[in-house]
Amino acid sequence: MAFLWLHISLYYSRGALNAGMTEFQEKLRQQHENSMHQELGKLLSTAEGAEAEVGSQRDLKGFKQLFHRFLQVKGPSVDWAKINRPPEDSIQPYERIRSRALPEGVASSLNKLAVVKLNGGLGTSMGCKGPKSLISVRSENTFLDLTVQQIEHLNKTYNADVPLVLMNSFNTDEDTKKILQKYTHHRVKIYTFNQSRYPRINKESLLPVATSMGLTGENSEAWYPPGHGDIYASFHNSGLLEQLLAQGKEYIFVSNIDNLGATVDLHILNHLVSQPAETRCEFVMEVTDKTRADVKGGTLIEYEGKLRLLEIAQVPKAHVDEFKSVTKFKIFNTNNLWISLPAIKRLHKQNAMDLEIIVNPKTLNGGLNVIQLETAVGAAIKSFDNALGINVPRSRFLPVKTSSDLLLVMSNLYRLEAGSLTMSEKREFPTTPHVKLGSSFTKVQDFLRRFESIPDMLELDHLTVSGDVTFGKQVALKGTVIIIANHGDRIDIPAGAMLENKIVSGNLRILDH
Ligand SMILES: *[C@@H]1O[C@H](CO)[C@@H](O)[C@H](O)[C@H]1NC(C)=O
Ligand SMILES: *[C@@H]1O[C@H](CO)[C@@H](O)[C@H](O)[C@H]1NC(C)=O
């Protein structure tokens, strides 16, 4: 209990404690750290095979550093009064970047680039087993297929050599590698590396819940990939950072693999590589205008003279509403990032990337409360020189997190070309409709079963569907459509139906005969 008390007092209290730790607290902190190190030593001794041990040791070294910092955290990581709006020129409109003509030799710029996709996540929230990137999202193509097609297209069009790098986690590595074989005949070089594997921590004792380095049986929930902020260390540790530098690569373009809008933008790349070395921008964060749907997204602020990412987890409770306001914090982070490779190497060597720790509480299947310590890739922005935000069009942020998102990207609202989705020019308004599908649609498998074909949505503004509802072939939805089947009822929208500004409820069944 003493440890828990220590932890709580370190983490949550403000005021007097902030002035520094008392001797007593410092002693407790050290005791706690020692216990953790002892437990980690025991875990390491269970690692099997020489290679496993090297990997685990490196991972656990990173974890020890993170845990050390976690114990030292004194209250919220930002002082609200010191937050400023970023200066005008630190977030540039995309139009300004785009207005500069591309030079003749686009290929030579592209040859300095590698594309990195964050591929550590599982498809669990969409009811799928295995890596999220292997879910089919459009015309039988998975997220990964679309990515490969995009990069192959770049290579073919510009005669350039852009490698694709996947940051896998221990959850996704094996399945991803199996699938990668199918791309051996594509003109894309694909590299992979693993992010680290850290132990989940018992919330009460602040000790690992793992009993061995294994991932099965009672340890199946004991480990986690520590968020995408881990990219810097694991990219370096894998040797891939050096390898790409040796190939003459200067920048990586990093994005979430489920963001279908995150394509290589030649104007942003050109902006980066064409600057003089002294003022070279080492980090670009693509941001976009916040709408009511993204009030929880991280935003850019100026803090102690540096551009900094502010996440909702760092915001003191009293200011959460202010943080969510669309007028005060107008933009949010799309997590499309352009990062200088030599700068990553420099900062990693100097151990100068101090990413704010995100404490993520979880309850395991057995009911045990744990925390996992994570970091976010964008939080490093404050460590890089001449960092810049670019306010990009919403079209560069097209994440597929739910089956409602999936319905949009599968529909005729989008055109698929060389792996990229663009909004159909047949849609009169550039905004996407607001779609809300109920829980009967959450799992991709159920979703697919409920649509005989994806409805025509070109003129749709708003769709809400709830309950046991199915759609026949070639349905068209226009304006605002609300379909609600109450418990025990079922609604089958007949093939060829056109619903315009309609509310459908009750029971409507079409039986086979
Ligand atoms: C990556 O993780 C997987 C799953 O734990 C493991 O099988 C594989 O050997 C790891 N790869 C490397 C290069 O460490
Ligand atoms: C990309 O295209 C160039 C030019 O056609 C070719 O030399 C290169 O090998 C290709 N890259 C890969 C990885 O296939």
**pLDDT beyond 50 at 18:** no
In this prediction, residue 79 carries a pLDDT of: 87
- pLDDT tens digits along 232-258: 999 999 999 999 999 999 999 999 999
In this prediction, residue 20 carries a pLDDT of: 57
17 confidence band (pLDDT: 50, 70, 90):
very low
511 confidence band (pLDDT: 50, 70, 90):
low
- Over residues 437-446, mean pLDDT: 96
7 confidence band (pLDDT: 50, 70, 90):
very low
Q: Please give the Cα distance from 308 to 389 (Å, whole number).
A: 10
**pLDDT beyond 70 at 3:** no
- pLDDT tens digits along 457-488: 999 999 999 999 999 999 999 999 999 999 99
The Å distance, Cα 504 to ligand 2 centre, comes to 54
The b/e string for 459-488 (b: 16+ C-beta within 10 A; e otherwise) is ebbebbbbbbbbbbeebbbbebbbbbbeee
Neighbour count for residue 51 (Cβ, 10 Å): 9
- pLDDT tens digits along 87-133: 888 999 999 999 988 888 888 999 999 999 999 999 999 999 999 99
DSSP 78: S
| pTM passes above 0.85 | yes
5 confidence band (pLDDT: 50, 70, 90):
very low
Residue bearing the CA closest to ligand 1, atom 6: 170
Q: Phi-psi region for residue 471, left (φ > 0), alpha (ψ -120 to 50) or beta?
A: beta
Q: Does residue 58 or residue 336 have the better pLDDT?
A: 336
The CATH H-level (homologous superfamily) assignment of domain 403-505 is: Hexapeptide repeat proteins (2.160.10.10)
In this prediction, residue 292 carries a pLDDT of: 80
**Any atom of ligand 1 within 6 Å of the Cβ of 169:** no
Catalytic residue among 82, 182, 401, 426: 401
10, 297, 311, 316 from 320: Cα distances, Å = 21, 12, 10, 7
The phi and psi torsions of 211 (rounded to 5 degrees) equal -110, -10
Q: Please give the Cα distance from 460 to 504 (Å, whole number).
A: 16
59 confidence band (pLDDT: 50, 70, 90):
confident
Report the range of poorest mean pLDDT among 5-9, 43-47, 110-114, 450-454: 5-9
In this prediction, residue 510 carries a pLDDT of: 64
Ligand number with the minimum distance to the CA of 240: 1
Mean pLDDT of the chain: 90
Report the range of poorest mean pLDDT among 384-398, 403-417, 420-434: 420-434
DSSP 433: P
**pLDDT beyond 70 at 78:** yes
**Secondary element (H or E) of residue 193:** strand 190-194
Which residue in 35, 44, 366 sits closest to 212, CA to CA?
Answer: 44
Counting other chains too, the contacts that 269-277 makes at CB distance below 8 Å and 24 or more residues apart are 269/109, 269/110, 269/113, 269/338, 270/100, 270/102, 270/103, 270/106, 270/109, 271/97, 271/100, 272/338, 273/109, 273/112, 274/103, 274/109
In this prediction, residue 6 carries a pLDDT of: 43
State the binding site for UTP: 132, 195, 227, 258, 401
- pLDDT tens digits along 268-323: 999 999 989 889 999 999 999 998 888 888 999 999 888 999 988 888 888 988 88
Residue bearing the CA closest to ligand 1, atom 7: 174
Q: Please give the Cα distance from 472 to 370 (Å, whole number).
A: 45
Domain ranges of the chain: 80-396, 403-505
**pLDDT beyond 50 at 346:** yes
The Å distance, Cα 421 to ligand 2 centre, comes to 24
The Å distance, Cα 113 to ligand 2 centre, comes to 14
Mutate to test the pocket of ligand 1, among 194, 196, 237 (most ligand atoms within 8 A of CB): 194
In this prediction, residue 512 carries a pLDDT of: 55
Is domain 80-396 given the CATH code 3.40.50.10860 in the classification?
A: no
**pLDDT beyond 80 at 76:** no
**Any atom of ligand 2 within 6 Å of the Cβ of 161:** yes
21 confidence band (pLDDT: 50, 70, 90):
low
- pLDDT tens digits along 382-404: 999 999 999 999 999 999 999 99
Neighbour count for residue 296 (Cβ, 10 Å): 13
**pLDDT beyond 70 at 209:** yes
Map tokens 């979703």 to a residue: 447
* Ligand 1 atom index nearest CA of 169: 2
pLDDT above 90 covers what percent of the chain? 72
In this prediction, residue 14 carries a pLDDT of: 39
In this prediction, residue 2 carries a pLDDT of: 39
| Three-state secondary structure call for residue 380 | helix
Q: Is 401 a catalytic residue?
A: yes
